[in-house]
Amino acid sequence: MGSLYTTILWDLDDTLLDFPYSQRYALSRCFRNIGRELTEEQHACYSRINTDYWRRLELGEITREELLVGRFSSLFQECGIEGVDVKNFQREYEEALGSVYLFRDDGLSVVRSLQGKVQQYVITNGISAVARNKLAISGLEGAMDGVFISEEIGCPKPQKEFFEYCLARLPEKNRARILIVGDSLTSDIRGGVQMGIPACWYRPEGRPNDTPWRPEYEISDLHEVYDIVTRFPA
């Protein structure tokens, strides 16, 4: 008898990797490049704007191109910063964002502990060049059986087209034996619920679920995934 799950679809940013760590580094470096020091207020402003832009992308309200530049245009407008080449700022930000990483809960060890027991894939809405670089320098690329990036597929999580693309390329065809692990209720968990794929919500801060999307599991530490995927079916 095999284990309950044969395949894990891992979210990348804010699940395996600490996205705020990379974001702060990249934003600070780019602000210095324009002769400024990033303030806490500006960082908080960007985080709010960036989250809203990504939410609008998930809902199909804006394009990826509108997101990439628009979030910085909105930031500079709100902060009263003028004279910045926004497209150049965006390019420098992407480069910096993909050059550093920090694991959540020693995520690489978690993934490696599951190698040989389950198939593992990354599913991310992140920018392709940034995600690919982080996967390479962190060692995650070599620990995965594949990587699915929304920019390369042409649509983001939670859209069904994204998940249909992934499912068509997985060896496991029984959705009940695939597990999505992610921090986002509106992309990872919603996508799993809508596609009939079991979902595990990673919420280390213990925030409440104020959405209609209900995961099969909730965890506060990535190490808990090991027990979930290696248990035997009832």
Cis peptide, bond prior to residue 212, ω within 30 of zero: no
For Cα atoms 19, 222, 110, give the angle at the middle one, nearest 5 degrees: 100
State how far the Cα of 109 lies from the Cα of 131, in Å rounded to an integer: 19
Q: Are 180 and 199 in contact (CB under 8 A)?
A: yes
The β-bridge partners of 118 are: 115
Alpha helices in the chain (DSSP H): 19-33, 40-58, 64-79, 86-97, 107-114, 128-138, 140-143, 150-153, 160-168, 190-195, 224-230
Q: Are 179 and 22 in contact (CB under 8 A)?
A: no
Q: Are 218 and 201 in contact (CB under 8 A)?
A: yes
Active site residues: 11
**Diameter of the chain by CA atoms?**
64
